[in-house]
Structure 1
Amino acid sequence: MTVSISRRAFAIGAAAAGFAMAGFSPSRAQQAFFRIGTGGTSGTYYPVGGLIANSISATGAAGVEGLVATAVSSNGSVANISAIQSGASESGFTQSDVAYWAQSGTGLYEGKPKVEDLRLIATLYPETIHLVARADAGIKTVADLKGKRVSLDEPGSGTIVDSRLVLAAYGLTEKDVEPEYLKPGPSGERLQDGALDAYFFVGGYPTGAIVELASTNNITLVPIFGPEADKLLSEQKFFSTDTVPANTYKNVGETKTISVAAQWVTSAKQPDDLVYKIVKSLYSDETQKTLQAGHAKGKLITLQNAVTSAGIPFHPGAEKFYKEVGALK
């Protein structure tokens, strides 16, 4: 059974859970509100963000006293960084490539002001580049996208950046396809209706929207593999090789592709003590059990992975914790 949760309902629910578990009342110590910008509700960021928000909002071994964290749906990496920069959000999830570009003023942020205050809380898990196609669309390689109806994701997402890089690696631009700019949910609906041939999605597998799509439709994952992908990997160091195992999605075989890292970032302006407590809560035994039981990617949110792919500086509060436990020198 699939349960649909609206953004508002989820945010309110996470906040309410925080209040209930902490036993908050007006007489209690001042509360700290900590929003986590995630992604679309049909992706991976949103449910993972919800698990983290509820866990760190609880008091006791796994929680931070006085903290109410909420997972907020958004347009993804770029939008989350913009919200942190403007003060509209305390933190957010982003792809490692987008975080690096923002902090260094390169790539997507070339010619724009650097987001110099952007700081890393933790690297979470690998984010796989999915190129989903209708099985009858005749798309066997990325090059076959030429002339096809392809969704690159919405402006402001990290996916659209990577989809352009992948197209370029195979000698294509947006002008060579019939581009659309939709999130995974609407993309899947249009693909199902025959109005779209393929779409890009960057996120941890298995992702709910693709699982649901594959359960009732014949789809394929297009490999991002071979000399073109090798050249892309050599030019863009934030990419890594990846493989989606067979039957991750119904009737879809093993698919070689590439990935980036999902990261949780914040602003250097956030208090060191608060971020320290949040990170300590994230890697507590209780939160780790919740993450492992709650989502396939939760098993990868480990202390060992936390300090990998760090293309931007750690927040001092996070760095203090990682050094205390020996994860960082």
Structure 2
Amino acid sequence: MRSSLLKKLSLAALAGSIAFAGAANAETRITYKSAKSTSSYYQMAVQIAEAMKAGSNGDIIVTVEESQGSVQNVMEAAVRPGNYVFTTPPVLVKLANSGKAMFKDKQNPKFADIRALFPIPSLTMHFVARADSGIKTFADLEGKTVLIGKGSFGAREGAKYLKLFGLEGKVELAKMELSNAVQALKNKQTDAFVTAGSYPAPNVIEAAAGTGITVLSLSDEQIKQTKRTKLTIPAGTYAGVDTEVNTTSLPVVAYTTTSMDEATAYALTKTYWEQKAKMGADNAWWNGVSGALLENITGKIHPGALKYYMEKGMAVPASAK
């Protein structure tokens, strides 16, 4: 009797161990390399991690890693094993594969193994003017004070656009950090500021609510001059801005490598799109992401992600298949 009971208990323990091992094996762990912890893209990474866990009933666990930038993310793709996901503008993947610019003398054959998963919110240029400044077009910036900050993508783009549009030396650049932009606009220390972020950008929302703003729209010719991707911010995105704003953007995409298996890439992509509406209800920048952004992908899409897009009838560039 005692022997029989012990045997049953042993079998039960063994069954429990097998079930536990199965559950552990069912859990997929992902490393997601994002951006600096102070950036909006790090916040997005945390939201994606939460969405993956919720959308997969805990089967997909994402660990978010801080990064010093997209170049680091791409460089690590050549050496990181397994389920490594990272974010970068597609143009950097193209440069890595060709060994140009910041990837000169840093070529690695493993860069050819990088594969796209899904687009995330784009870096969107905003030229924001105080509503009572009289600034309606770029030409109106002449003789005005403009805050562009320094060191960031937005600051570099802002300076580039001022030069492209014939305004270099014709505006006064405010000598203060971009973090002071909203207060500076309110206190009339600056007439306008330039910022790049996923729309709707928190600092632009704050400026619209507290001061009243105009967001400058670029003409098609100006957008062509910038050599950036056109993006339209819908009317009503910001309080008081009742017409759509045509501006430029730098697309950003979540990538992995061929080290990720097809089933995992499929599950990640499927869960991301299924959870996007819920993420958008909590943070509006997700609402600017749609299947249309797939056209910005350069290079190949992972076969697992591509399987999902084909199932859903989403348009994918022929070059990415």
Note if contact 2:217-2:246 (Cα within 8 Å) is conserved in structure 1. Answer: yes
Paired residues of 2:145 and 2:190 also in contact (CA < 8 A) = yes
Residue 290 of structure 1 corresponds to which residue in structure 2? 278
Q: Contact 1:91/1:266 (CA < 8 Å) preserved in 2?
A: yes
- Is residue 124–residue 261 contact of structure 1 (8 Å, CA) maintained in 2? no
The structure with the greater share of residues assigned to helix is 2
How many residues get paired?
287
Q: Offset of 1:203 from its aligned partner? A: 3.2
Shift of 1:37: 1.5
Aligned to 2:192: 198
Instruction: Identify the residue that residue 212 of structure 2 maps to in structure 1.
Output: 218
Q: Quote the Cα distance in structure 2 between the aligned partners of 1:80 and 1:63.
A: 30
- Residues 192-236 of structure 1, C-alpha deviations (whole Å, 9 max, x = no match): 344443222233432222112221123322232264x15426xx2
Tell me if structure 2 keeps the 8 A contact 1:33–1:67: yes
Partners of 2:168 and 2:253 in 1: CA distance: 30
Equivalent residue number for residue 168 of structure 1: 163
Aligned to 1:251: 240
Match of 2:299 in 1: 312
Paired position in structure 1 for 2:32: 35
Aligned to 2:229: 239
SS for the counterpart of 1:139 is: coil
Task: Indicate if the aligned counterparts of 2:181 and 2:193 stay in contact, CA closer than 8 A.
Answer: yes
| Matched residue type, 1:85 | M
The code of the aligned residue for 1:37 comes to: S
Please state how far the C-alpha of 1:170 moved relative to its aligned partner: 0.2
CA change 1:251–1:323 in 2 (3 A) is: closer
> What stretches of structure 1 of length at least 5 have no aligned partner?
1-23
Instruction: Specify the SS of the correspondent of 2:253.
Output: strand
Report sequence identity in percent: 23
SS of structure 1 residue aligned to 2:31: strand
Secondary structure, aligned partner of 2:295: coil
The reply on whether 1:82 has 2:87 as its aligned counterpart is no
Call closer, same or farther: CA 1:102–1:170 in 2, change over 3 Å: farther
User: Hey, what does 1:189 align to over in structure 2?
Assistant: 183
> Does structure 2 conserve the Cα–Cα contact (< 8 Å) formed by 1:128 and 1:257?
no
- Corresponding residue for 1:7? none
Alpha-carbon distance between aligned partners in 1 of 2:76 and 2:53, rounded to the nearest angstrom: 24
Following TM superposition, the consecutive aligned residue runs of length 4 or more in structure 1 with deviations greater than 6 angstroms are none
- C-alpha distance in structure 2 between counterparts of 1:102 and 1:188, whole Å: 37
**Given that residues 121 and 263 in structure 1 are in contact (C-alpha distance below 8 angstroms), is that contact kept between their aligned partners in structure 2?**
no
Partner of 1:54: 50
- RMSD after superposition: 4.1
Structure 2: how far apart are the matches of 1:70 and 1:212? 28
Larger Rg: 2
Q: Which residue of 2 aligns with 1:150?
A: 146
Deviation at 1:54, TM superposition (A): 0.6
CA offset digits 1:86-129 (Å, max 9, x no partner): 469954444455655555556x7486756845542212355542
- Please name the residue that 2:10 is paired with: none
Q: Which residue of 2 aligns with 1:281?
A: 271
TM normalised by structure 2 equals 0.68
Distance, in Å, in 2 between the alignment partners of 1:137 and 1:95 is 34
Residues 51/240 of structure 1: CA separation in 2 closer, same or farther (3 Å cut): same
CA distance in 2, matches of 1:165, 1:99: 23
Structure 1 distance, partners of 2:99, 2:146, is: 29
Unmatched runs of 5 consecutive residues or more in structure 2: 1-19
